[in-house]
Structure 1
Amino acid sequence: MEQAPYNGRTARNESGIAHWVMTPDGVRLRIGHWPVDGARGTVIMFPGRTEYVEKYGPAAADFATRGYASLAIDWRGQGLADRLHKNPAVGHVGRFSDYQIDARAAVAHARTLGLPEPFHLLAHSMGGAIGLRALYEDYPVETAAFSAPMWGISIAPYLRPLAWGLSTVSRPLGFSHVFAPGQQAETYVLREGFETNTLTNDPEMFALLKEQIEAEPGLALGGPSLHWLNEALREARNLAQRPSPAVPCLCFLGSQEEIVDPARIRERMASWPGGELVELEGGKHEVILEVPEIRAALFDRCVEMFDDPRRLAA
């Protein structure tokens, strides 16, 4: 097992360890974990698009204080995992289903490390779409928590037909590798000011995201390709056609969400058996990195479910 780079300083968590993990289809991933002596279980964290292991260091610290070990993954095409496009700034994936190969590699790595079970899922944004698909494929977790899951993408109604049409024809016409409209190579947190950002209301957390990229520029990722956009739209549509799985579930949604589609989330959670939607007043997209009171509420609720999944099923 080959150790991979991990920046404990910018992760705000020195207890982490990262390893390189090779998938069956030959993609090198980076997977980090944060062990806890006497842990009551392990939280497998599925990051969103553009994200990476260090971003989940603060979350791992919050879970550690509540008695849980954690693990997070650099998905293929982002973080320090293998990039899948000749331009490393382009967010790209061959098929959205390929992320399931990575998800299986994460839980296999958790077992190789001997991390304590039961396993629980915390999936954010794009990771929320990957996580929901994984639950349909019998992912071995006892409960699932979602943060602003990408069960739909927030696109103005008048632009949605254009997004579908352009991303669909881009493949046969040979330009699916280019950035989706309005996207660019520079990563969001380096080009956006705190006052206008759509991620968090916590200035320290926003500054931390910039610090992480500046310390390791190789973590940076720009906008998605048209191909990624088409794959993501198709996956969201396919997931919407399936009933919710019978897994105890919490879903967190900030009142100031602008990136994913809140209507799709509310619709899904209204029909999830043993599921509960928690709307967090004042939260933006990154509720895991929000102001302290929002973060505390999120982690407290997660651990209540992890400790007693039957409470939600009652």
Structure 2
Amino acid sequence: MQAAPLLEEIADGPPGGRAAWMRAADGTRLRVAHWPCDSARGTVLLLPGRTEFIEKYGRAARDLGARGYGTAVIDWRGQGLSDRLTGDTLTGHVGDFDDYQQDVAALLAACAAWDLPRPWHLLAHSMGGAIGLRAALGDLPVATCAFTAPMWGIKMRAVLRPLAWSLGWAAGRAGLGHRYAPSTGPQSYVLSAPFETNDLTRDAGMHAHMRAQLTAHPELSLGGPSLTWLFGALRECRRLHALPSPAQPGLAILGTDERIVDPARIEARMARWPGARLERLDGALHEPMMDTPETRAAVWEMLDRFWRENA
């Protein structure tokens, strides 16, 4: 491992954070980070969503530290400070969703090298929820699996779904898979969507904080997904839906006003996961960990209780 930058001035994380460069099996350079906690009762492996970056979870790491947990987090390939994968660095692109499992392996290798306190607990958000579920169905060494708004299905109008499938497939065949998906472009959603109509958070302060992070460090910004990413995401969601649930205890947290991922797929998964439970947050949008103070407090209480019950 080599030391990597951790932008503490925008992260607002707990003291003692560190970051490192790791190499995936295919050579892709990835950034991983760890925020410690004194006398930690375990470590949370936090898997972010699409467009996100390590520093976005600095405040979450602070809240987790207050409850006795260290936090490890990663910049997925194609975003954050990890290697971008197309000539247009603002395109959210991945060659194949299976490639993200190499990134998980790199994060685990860093956690082992740092000898992070166990037990380890999975906490995965949005796209990270799809990646994390796939990893948990393998040999992910975690005691529990928790998710916020996991991307086990993508919310879109029924009439558009066949078009998304066919367009993504055809673009890949024609060598155009790096192009932006329809209605998207290089603009960052956080910077372009006003608070009043955004789909992420009801908290004006958190929205302003996320915008300030990207304004201060535009190199962290990411625009819309590529056609290849969209096709891969749809295919991965379909594959995951056909698989059984992990052996570990499961918890999913979902806002009642979710507009990005498909709640029906989440409900279906949790209904057939023995002993797992689905918690609903009244009025919350896509990012419960970055919603109002009351919602964030409820999220941390749910997670802490879940981890204590299943440590």
- Normalised to the residue count of structure 2, the TM-score between the two structures is 0.98
User: Which amino acid in 2 is paired with 1:206?
Assistant: H
Unaligned runs of 5+ in 2: none
Aligned residue in 2 for 1:137: 138
Q: Who is 1:242 aligned against?
A: 243
| Native 8 Å contact 1:126 1:150 kept in 2 | yes
Cα distance, 1:173 vs structure 2: 2.0
Question: 1:128: which partner in 2?
Answer: 129
Distance 1:263 1:8 in 2: 38
Find out whether 1:109 has 2:110 as its counterpart: yes
Give the structure 2 partner of residue 198 of structure 1: 199
Q: Tell me the distance in 2 between the aligned counterparts of 1:217 and 1:20.
A: 20
**Which piece of structure 1 moves more, 58-67 or 168-177?**
168-177
**How do 1:4-43 and structure 2 match up within 5 A?**
4-15=4-15, 16-43=17-44
Q: Percent identity, aligned pairs only?
A: 52
User: Is the 8 Å Cα contact of residues 48 and 124 (structure 1) preserved in structure 2?
Assistant: yes
Partner-residue secondary structure (3-state), 2:11? coil
Partner residue in 1 for 2:268:
267
AA aligned opposite 2:10: T
One-letter code aligned to 1:143: T
**Given the alignment of the two structures, is residue 59 of structure 1 paired with residue 60 of structure 2, yes or no?**
yes
Secondary structure of residue in 2 paired with 1:231: helix
Determine the C-alpha separation between the residues in 1 that align with 2:194 and 2:32: 30
Structure 1 position 264, deviation (Å)? 0.5
Work out the CA distance in 1 between the residues paired with 2:281 and 2:310: 21
| Cα distance between partner residues in 2 of 1:136 and 1:306 | 19
After TM superposition, the structure 1 stretch with the greater mean CA deviation from structure 2, 72-81 or 300-309, is 300-309
Residue range with higher mean Cα deviation, 241-250 or 128-137: 241-250
Structure-to-structure mapping, 1:31-110, within 5 angstroms: 31-110=32-111
Alignment of 1:213-228 (within 5 A): 213-228=214-229
Write the deviation string for residues 126-165 of structure 1: whole angstroms up to 9, x where unpaired: 0000000001111000001100000000010111111111
- What is the SS of the residue equivalent to 1:10? helix
Coordinate RMSD, CA, aligned: 1.0
Deviation of the 1:9 alpha carbon: 2.3
Count residues in correspondence: 310
- Write the distance in 2 (CA, Å) between the matches of 1:114 and 1:174: 43
Question: What is the identity, as a one-letter code, of the residue corresponding to 1:192?
Answer: A
Q: Which whole-Å CA distance do the structure 1 matches of 2:263 and 2:192 have between them?
A: 25
* 1:96-153 Cα deviation digits (max 9, x unpaired): 0100010011111011111101100000000000000001111000001100000000
Q: Does the 8 A contact of 2:124 with 2:146 survive in 1?
A: yes
CA contact (8 A) 2:189 2:223 kept: yes
Q: Is 1:146 equivalent to 2:144 in the alignment?
A: no
Structure 1: tracts of 5 or more residues without a match: none
Answer with 100-109 or 165-174: which moved more: 165-174
Aligned residue for 2:181, secondary structure, equals coil
Q: Which amino acid aligns with 2:13?
A: N
Q: CA deviation at 1:14?
A: 4.7
Partner of 1:178: 179
Instruction: Work out whether residues 14 and 62 of structure 2, in 8 Å CA contact, stay in contact via their aligned partners in 1.
Output: no
Residues 45, 123 of structure 2: 8 Å contact kept: yes
Contact 1:8 1:14 in 2 (8 A): no
What is the one-letter code of the residue matched to 2:280? E
Give the distance between the partners of 1:131 and 1:292, measured in 2 at CA. Answer: 26
Report the Cα distance in structure 1 between the residues aligned to 2:30 and 2:256, rounded to whole angstroms: 34
The TM-score normalised by the length of structure 1 is 0.97
Give the secondary-structure state (helix, strand or coil) at the position aligned to 1:283.
coil
C-alpha distance in 1 between matches for 2:207 and 2:21: 28
**Aligned structure 1 segments of 4 or more residues deviating by more than 3 angstroms:** none
Provide the C-alpha distance between the structure 2 equivalents of 1:9 and 1:252, rounded to a whole number of angstroms.
29
Q: Distance in 1 between matches of 2:306 and 2:113?
A: 26
Q: 8 Å contact 1:42–1:118 — kept in the other structure? A: yes
Partner of 2:156: 155
